[in-house]
Every structure is written in structure tokens, then in C-alpha cells.
Amino acid sequence: MENLIDSYIQFLKIEKGLSNNSIESYAADLKRFNSFCLKYNLKVENMTIDDFVLFFEELQKEKKEDSTIIRYMVSVRGFIKYLVKHKYLSKDPLYFFQLPKMKRGLPHFLSEDETERLLLTPNVSKKSGLRDRVILELLYATGMRVSEVAALRLSQINLQSGFVIVFGKGAKERIVPLGEESVFWLKRYIENNGVRDYLFPGKKNKHITRQFVWKMLKKVAANANIDYVTPHTLRHSFATHMLIRGADLHSVQIMLGHSDISTTEIYTHITKERLREVYQTYHPRAK
């Protein structure tokens, strides 16, 4: 089993071009699946759908979140499909297995005033504060994922034309505009730091990590008296504010790098909720 999992991981890395984060997630899920098989002395070529159900029931007993269990299901089903396609298995035991539909909660986002307060919090007279301001500006101005911002190279940014080339999931490339504010702070940051390769260099000639950005943002949010903010909160805020101000859904989809517009459609629910709040607050006959 371990050799088959290694082959599948290499397939995802080389053929599918998945990001390191996605690769690590698949590897961890399949390692857990392999431990389950060893525990019950199961061989993948002899497994039935009942064996897979038992695995998922074990995860439920461990009090795993529904979203986590569904992620395991996706990882295992992808692995099985790979084994069938490459003739390691003669048939797919999960062919009739249906993934449960996961309820989506509305993404958390900041108001425009909260966003402004957050962006103004870093002390830009210090090098670290200037760096933090630029990271926050990029997260909000472009809607990039935290991993995309952390790994940015100078060569991806065109300050004159005002856009950034983003390499997203599956090495997909997209172009996202930069606003005047983010261009201003980028110029100031680059001039003051002599950036040559990675925009935000870390240790050992590498870029900063996602964890670095999370910790920084947590600290800045506390100083701004904002209770809960993650890098993804700024991505959600970017999309929500764009739609509230009249952007079309397809444009937002392209800038976020969503392959399916249904993923972007969740933000329309947010804007509807926002419109309802405005109506309830200001219309004289709303209540």
C-alpha cells in the first residue's frame, strides 16, 4: 500500500502539478487510511464499499469535523480512481459511493471600515511594519491566497502597468490588477529593502511561510481591536466588497482563481444578506 500511495503522490505532484500544500494534505490523509488498513489487515485490492464506510465511521467516532471527513473521502476516492486507471485494481469499489453534500457557512469578512483600520495599523516607519503593510495590502487588493502572497517573486509584479501574475492551484496562472494604494506601498517597500528575488524573503534563501503571515495578521488584528481575522478573511473581504460595489461575478471568479463559478457564487449570498441588513436598518416600513 505504501508504494502505491507514493506512486499516487508523485502522480499528483508531476502530472497534476498540485501545490506543496495540497500534496502534503493528500499524503497525510492517505497515511491515515493506510494505518486503518493495517489495523484491520485489509488489502486495497480486496476491499469492499463496507470497508471504506467503516473507515469513515472511525473518523466520525474520533469527532472529526464533517468538512474533514469529506476531505478524507475525496483523498481516498482520488487514490482509488488512480489505482483503477493504472490497472492496479480491476474495478472501482467506490463507483456507486456518493459524497455527502457539505453545508457551506457564509464566509467571514470585514466591513470596509474594519479593513481600513487593519491596513493602517502596522508601523510603516519600521522595516517590519512596512513589510506587514505591503502583505496586508496585497491580500486585500488582489484577493490572493496566503500561500500565493508568501511565495511572490519580484518578477511576477509589474508596477508600471499595475498588475501581478499569480501562480495558483495546479500551477494555473492568472493576472490580477493592483490598485494605486498597493502599487504605492510596493514601490516604497521594494526601494527600501533592495528586493531581488522573493518579495518577502525568509530563512535559508526561501520565502516567508503561511504560518508567518497568520501570526503577523493575528498580532496586527489584536492591535486594531478586531476580534477574528485570517488571511482568508481578507480574500473574502476582497470578493464581497467588489460585488457590493457592483463588480460582476465572472470577473471576481477570474481574479480569485476559481475554476468553477459555483465556488464564487457563495459571495452573492453574502451581498444579499448585506442588502437585507441595510433594508432592515434604513427603510421606514421594514419593521
Residues labelled as active-site residues: 145, 169, 232, 235, 258, 267
CA distances from residue 12 to 7, 78, 79, 138, 216 in whole angstroms, order as listed: 9, 10, 10, 29, 31
Cβ partners under 8 Å of residue 162, min gap 6: 177, 178, 179, 180, 183
Q: Are 69 and 60 in contact (CB under 8 A)?
A: yes
Question: For residues 31-63, b (16+ Cβ closer than 10 Å) or e, as one string?
Answer: ebbbebeeeeebebeebeeebbeebbeebeeee
Q: Read off the C-alpha cell for 210.
A: 503561511
* CA separation for the pair 17, 169 (Å, rounded): 8
Cβ partners under 8 Å of residue 126, min gap 6: none
CA distances from residue 37 to 58, 71, 96, 119, 234 in whole angstroms, order as listed: 12, 18, 21, 49, 40
Question: 163: part of which helix (H) or strand (E)?
Answer: strand 163-167
Please name the residue ranges forming H helices in 143-227. 146-150, 180-193, 210-223
How many CB atoms are closer than 10 A to CB 142?
24
Q: In residues, how long is the chain?
A: 287
